[in-house]
Amino acid sequence: MRVVFFGTPEFAVPSLERLLQHADLEVIAVVTQPDKPQGRGKQLLPSPVKKLALDHNLPIWQPKRVKKSQATLTKLRETEADAFAVVAYGQILSPEILQMPKLACINVHGSILPQYRGAAPIQWSVYHGDTQTGITTMLMDEGMDTGAMLLKAYTPIGLLDNAVEVGVKLAQIGADLLVETLLKLAKGELEPEAQNSQAATYAPPIQKTDYFIDWTRQARQIHHQIRGFYPNCLTTFREQPLKILATAPLGEAYWSQLPPALQKLQAQWASLSSLAGSPGEVVSIIKKFGPVVQTGEGLLLLLQVQLAGKRPQSGQDFVNGTRLSVGEKLLTVF
């Protein structure tokens, strides 16, 4: 099977790797986003997918707008590909492109459709506290992740998993599912299943304000926000920005879901649960772990933070380095 691969970020790399490794699949070209300026020097750097494609001497096309690039459209048409495989490419394909391959355009989507259609399915799934997610392969149509579904694979989300960690896991699952989908599609072994649009939910692009922590919310809501939008969630500490990178909600509802080291804190819960403060206030400092912050409902243990201009550090190192005291407050950024 002759395949043109469309993809850009690290999430798409395992899928391209898996296609390149399979004897029955031939990647004939790669379409990826243009190089972007990064870092202080604003040096143009290739996407992760482009780097892999260069290593394999594949033809690489990087149109600014693929549906408007006549040169790219001509090249795509001339490939006479059996399938286009699309994994987090980052541009919408026109009806003209969707009709080019002999079999279909296949998309690898990071959710169990019709849940979380859109740009950030992994992040919003974690943000909403889902305990399960997965990958759906589908036939692409003109809508936003509305095409008929082909195969699905599921994976659990742990209480402390962040979106980056879930994404790494899903990238591997998606790679396997893409290969299986292409091979079964070629053999006519798949029966596309229409999505129930009435059950659809959406995962829009993340906005800057989504990163701001509101300490009046419940501990579990803040915890899901921090791991869903990792590593960008912000609060204010001593009038300076502070990123909160990892937390653990404390209480009877969570002990069984926490790792053994944190489960030991259950022995201190009788005294911890009696503490009270205003939202954002440090009400306790647990030796070897870090500060405990009062929220609008419940307590949140800060496991990892990052001061402006500094490297990430554990909650305990944060306490030691700043000489943090009980009674100090973290404030919401607005």
Binding site for (6S)-5,6,7,8-tetrahydrofolate, by residue number, is 111-114
Which residue in 298, 305, 333, 300 sits closest to 319, CA to CA? 305
Euclidean distance between CA atoms 327 and 277, whole angstroms = 8
239 contacts 228 by C-beta, under 8 angstroms: no
- Helix (H) or strand (E) run with residue 211 in it: none
Phi and psi at residue 189, to the nearest 5°: -95, 5
60 contacts 50 by C-beta, under 8 angstroms: yes
223 contacts 156 by C-beta, under 8 angstroms: no
Question: Please, which residues have CB within 8 angstroms of residue 55's CB and are 6 or more apart in sequence?
Answer: none
326 contacts 282 by C-beta, under 8 angstroms: yes
Coil, strand or helix: which one is 110?
A: coil
Which residue in 153, 144, 152, 111 sits closest to 128, CA to CA? 111
Token pair of 51, please? 């780097």
Annotated binding site: 111-114
Which residue in 10, 18, 2 sits closest to 76, CA to CA? 2
Euclidean distance between CA atoms 150 and 111, whole angstroms = 13
Token pair of 234, please? 């912000």
